[in-house]
Structure 1
Amino acid sequence: MLKVRIIPILTFNGFGLVKTKKFANPRMVGNPVQYAKVYNSRGVDELVFVDIFASTQKRKINLKLVADVIKECYMPVAIGGGIESINDINDLLKIGADKVIIKTKALLDKEFIKQAVTFFGSQCISIAVDAYATSEGYKIFNKLNIDISIADFIREMTDCKVGEFVLMSVDKDGMMDGFDIDLINHVINITNIPVIVAGGGGNMEHYNELFSKTNVKAVGSASIFHFTQFTPLDIKNELKKINIPVRI
């Protein structure tokens, strides 16, 4: 049976690590290189590092900083933020990224995503899916004034043969009050592409519920590691109790 992945998510504002609530009010939480060292020492399965303001501020991610983060990691690392070209992806892969995470460019240019998959392979291309609930169903959060349902976006990216989705519930981001189980099941029923889910984890019961009520194989988390005593190993030990296979 496929072992599930527990993945810390580091979000960066160009100066330091931040943690948002519902994608607003970013709170400074520390230094990315130091956090990478800590997670590496704890043997996490993967690490996600995203510059969450690079695209809106129309700047490139800091490659030197990314390289410093990757140097501390013996686990796979996925990097996102400000990716607009094949050269941007190549620059990140050259300094050691295993995967890139793309959102804005995916909303604007589906053909670019097809080109990236062809050039680098599906396994290198992950798509960020930031979802929020509306009276018309779940839609993709963005600052581009693009109105698209999560179902349509997922199907478009599935047709592009991307390697993975990183699904974040905007409504649950930073709230630590449990995962949006309905959203997660909605997405995994649309696509056969692997999904990392995130948004809402605050205690061990939330992870127990997530893996009991969905078929996801990977969860990304941030607030629980920043603001509580829980570690990735605690989550793995909790999942072992309900016979969910984890990497130790």
Structure 2
Amino acid sequence: MLKCRVIPILTFNGFGLVKTKGFARNPRMVGNAVQATKVYNSRNVDELVFLDIYASDKNRKMNLQLAKLIINECFMPVALGGGIKTIEDIHDLLAIGADKVVLKSKIIEDPEFINKASQVFGNQCITLAIDAFKQDDGKYYLYNRLKKTIDLFVFLEDIKSYNFGEIILTSVNNDGMMNGFDIELVNKVEKIIHVPIVVAGGAGNLDHFKELFSKSHIEAVAAASIFHFTQYTPRDIKLAIASVGKPVRIVEKMFIPKN
């Protein structure tokens, strides 16, 4: 059985790290990307996701110089996303050392781009960001800033046969709220998508992780607020996941005797 992954997400606004609530446009500043990466690297997280969340809106590319600094601090796989529109954009990110790229706006406008990218680079490095918004009527839609109304599950059915490696599934309603994951959403998406799903949006305490891994078949979770605003560490989360019988990778600190 594969080890369950714990993955911090760093969201960037062009100037520094930010943390949103419900994807609102007035996010809270939470620090420096490179310094945060150093901390996560020292804590043996399984992967790291770095997203420029306004790149597509501002029609800008990923800051390759900053991305390279982040990658240089990492001894774990790194996924980069934001402003990716062309095959050349993906090439540029992989060329500086990214292990995966995260696609969002481009695949809404042009789903065929998924297969084009996978044909060139392999599906193992193509991750899709699926942001789900639940309306008051209980229906889920694909959150986007393209002013498109897209039924979430219709979209997933349409793309499920495309050649991608995994998805990052984020509950927009739960984003930054720290009141738990949307388990209903996770279970519904699991029935459609048959590649690894990284669940994000809502983690606030260790019980939230226990519930997620107990009530789904998920093998990867991403989080941000719990790391920024609580005392919990990636190790704490892994121990919580292990407590419900799921395998995790825990690296014990090496003891180096004094001479």
Q: TM-score, normalised by structure 2?
A: 0.94
Q: Which runs of 5+ in 2 are unaligned?
A: 251-259
Larger Rg over CA atoms: 2
Could you say what secondary structure the match of 2:160 adopts?
helix
Could you say what secondary structure the match of 2:15 adopts?
coil
Could you say what secondary structure the match of 1:28 adopts?
strand
Q: Match of 1:200?
A: 202
Name which of 231, 235, 238 aligns with 2:237. Answer: 235
Q: TM-score, normalised by structure 1?
A: 0.98
Q: Does 1:14 align with 2:4?
A: no
User: Partners of 2:244 and 2:146 in 1: how far apart?
Assistant: 42
User: Partners of 1:26 and 1:149 in 2: how far apart?
Assistant: 26
> What amino acid maps onto 1:237 in structure 2?
L
Could you say what secondary structure the match of 1:219 adopts?
strand
Q: Match of 2:247?
A: 245
Could you say what secondary structure the match of 2:146 adopts?
coil
For 1:102-125, what per-residue CA distance to the aligned partner results, in whole angstroms no more than 9, with x for missing partners?
000000011222100111111011
- Which region of structure 1 is more displaced relative to structure 2, 169-178 or 232-241? 232-241
Q: Which runs of 5+ in 1 are unaligned?
A: none
Report the CA distance between 1:185 and its aligned residue: 0.5
Kindly indicate whether the alpha-carbon contact (under 8 Å) linking 1:47 and 1:75 is maintained by their aligned counterparts in 2.
yes
Kindly indicate whether the alpha-carbon contact (under 8 Å) linking 2:160 and 2:192 is maintained by their aligned counterparts in 1.
no
CA RMSD of superposed structures (Å): 0.9
Which runs of structure 2 are paired with 1:7-86 in the superposition (5 Å)? 7-24=7-24, 25-86=26-87
Name which of 202, 218, 221 aligns with 1:219. Answer: 221
User: Partners of 1:73 and 1:155 in 2: how far apart?
Assistant: 35
Kindly indicate whether the alpha-carbon contact (under 8 Å) linking 1:117 and 1:160 is maintained by their aligned counterparts in 2.
no
The alignment of Structure 1 onto Structure 2 pairs a total of residues equal to: 248
Could you say what secondary structure the match of 1:211 adopts?
helix
Q: Match of 2:254?
A: none
Could you say what secondary structure the match of 2:155 adopts?
helix
User: Partners of 2:204 and 2:173 in 1: how far apart?
Assistant: 14
Q: Match of 1:4?
A: 4
Report the CA distance between 1:156 and its aligned residue: 2.7
Which runs of structure 2 are paired with 1:91-240 in the superposition (5 Å)? 91-134=92-135, 135=137, 137-240=139-242
